[in-house]
Structure 1
């Protein structure tokens, strides 16, 4: 059985697809009323499922005329996508965010399913016997090395 967060996510993604190139503007209270949930549930879905590494840019304006604007961002090409992901990785990255980056690369057809599985397997937290900050730093170094290598895979 699917939970309410999955249902809200699917609804928002379908609405984004149907809006074409236009940004999706929603009122949190209206969506909450539609799904009979609290507005904080909408916040949770947007904060966890519509992130930059997943290919979304979110902007919000508070107040009476406030809104949440969600835009699906598309890179110009795979090289641009790899550069964007390298910026997101930075100097440290948690496992969940790293997996989201890899999934996005696969969804954008920048990497194969096999490459995605291999990348996810080597970034697993159970492979690093270190404190969290060091583990996230090692994971970032490894992911950045893989991204830099994959960035130019067509040239070799």
Structure 2
């Protein structure tokens, strides 16, 4: 555990649970107690590391009897992954989120290493540099959506 931050430890714990079953249901408070951290730390890990781009669907219910349900998405076909990503595309996309999506597409065999590298270059902050960081993130999301559409539809 030395050299790892708490977020990494929590992520490994949740991924170990998911290795045993495709879906887990946890209590944010119970996991926070287990790791002696605040519940917002659990929220952070889930929000940043268990995303559709990385192959996860998360549902949660707050309040009494609340839960967080994490489901590892089954990649039935290349198209289902591409459609999932396109449907979940946020209005703004950071460079790290775009890189994560491209990595997922590469690992699923949807795109080649060369295509992934080309898209990384297209999406880079240097290439998309705008005066406003928000405008860059919106442009990156539109570029990624256009790329996903090109994978979905034969034009």
TM over 0.5: yes
Structure 2 match to 1:139: 140
Q: Which moved more, 1:140-149 or 1:54-63?
A: 140-149
Q: Which moved more, 1:2-11 or 1:137-146?
A: 137-146
Matches within 5 A, 1:4-153: 4-19=6-21, 21=22, 23-89=23-89, 92-130=92-130, 131-151=132-152
In 2, distance between residues paired with 1:128 and 1:51? 24
Tell me, yes or no, if the aligned pair for 1:89 and 1:98 is still in contact at 8 Å.
no
Tell me the C-alpha RMSD between the 2 structures.
Answer: 2.4
In 1, distance between residues paired with 2:43 and 2:120? 28
Q: CA deviation at 1:151?
A: 4.4
Distance 1:125 1:27, change over 3 A: same
TM-score, normalising length: structure 2? 0.82
Q: CA deviation at 1:91?
A: 5.8
Describe the SS at the equivalent of 1:101.
helix
Structure 2 regions of 5+ residues with no counterpart? Answer: none
In 1, distance between residues paired with 2:12 and 2:104? 17
In 2, distance between residues paired with 1:139 and 1:146? 10
Tell me, yes or no, if the aligned pair for 2:60 and 2:67 is still in contact at 8 Å.
yes
Structure 1 regions of 5+ residues with no counterpart? Answer: none
In 1, distance between residues paired with 2:34 and 2:90? 38
TM-score, normalising length: structure 1? 0.82
Structure 2 match to 1:3: 5
Q: CA deviation at 1:90?
A: 6.1
